[in-house]
Structure 1
Amino acid sequence: MAWCSLCRWPVASVIYLATSVCAPGLAHADDWGCQVILCLSNPGGPEQYGECVPPIEKLWNALRHGDPFPTCNVGVGGSQGTSASNTYASAAYCREDLIYWGGPEQSELLGRPRGAINVDISAQRYTRVWWDANAEDRTITDFYDAGGTQGNTQAPYDLTQAARELIERVGREDDGNGGGGG
């Protein structure tokens, strides 16, 4: 089956999850939710493989319409602690590089993505997928190594502090360029 090409990922719990999706005759009512977690856990992005495009496009459509995040029963067979959840993004929960000044007179800090989906495997953060980042259908995937440390950015960041750090950085830049000093 086409889904089995995704089953080669080296994480044991993802392999278990993939087995439940790939194995014929073991279909469950929550297969879509399991496909979504499998695709979202790909460090190369949720739609890197053609088999992931339909379930992920269905996810984006559902989330844009306010539907709940799909579920997958992965709490058996050693995959406990594997889950995915959506958090709607804002300036208070966003990467610094995705925050911008907007609103009336460019006076509000806003987050570009609609949301962030955190994927945990074996109770460790594995990926975070920012969806509708900068444009509809654009995603950015942050991959974390086995210890939960970000593997694809220069330094880990605290999402709840990103807006404050952006304001401080802009203030330092303004002061360095002769602005803001009075």
Structure 2
Amino acid sequence: MMWHNGAESFGIVSRALHWAVALMVLVMLSLGLRISSMEPGLANLWLYSLHKSLGLVTLGLMVVRVVWHVISPPPRPMGGGWQAVLARWVHRGIYALMFAIPLSGWGASSATGIEVMVFDRWVVPAIAPVSALWEERGFALHDVLGKVLMAVIALHMAAALKREMEGDGTLTRMIRGRAR
């Protein structure tokens, strides 16, 4: 089992981080869509807390992922031309969104003046001043970026499936580590 990435392959650490973040994102987007349609109340407050906690865990996983990619750079996208360029930009967009979304949620939550807690146990420092304007704009940004992420993920998944059906091994490489 290869821990580090190779020139043409993903190591187990990169693959585990990829799929862990993917699972967290699907849970977070589903939960976010659910709570966005709810009126906050005592009966559902735990869902908001869970969303914040999992968002901060996802942010932490993304930090680990970036550090790991510095230690063990990922292989270049398969193929070449415009598809490789587009794949690189889509990945950059996903990474940017995966930092911007939890940070905007953390900032907006901080702006409410209510402590932001992880799993109702640890208080994280506020990263925005208490402000109705910061709260409103922060949550609006959080919502818009979440919707953009859904679109970019749909593009990412469609491209991976298309390329896999064409037989280039892109998806197989993220599952097994190597294309063939």
Q: TM-score range by the shorter chain?
A: under 0.3
TM-score under structure 1 normalisation?
0.25
Q: Which has the higher helix share?
A: 2
**What TM-score results when the alignment is normalised by the length of structure 2?**
0.26
Please identify which structure carries the higher strand content: 1
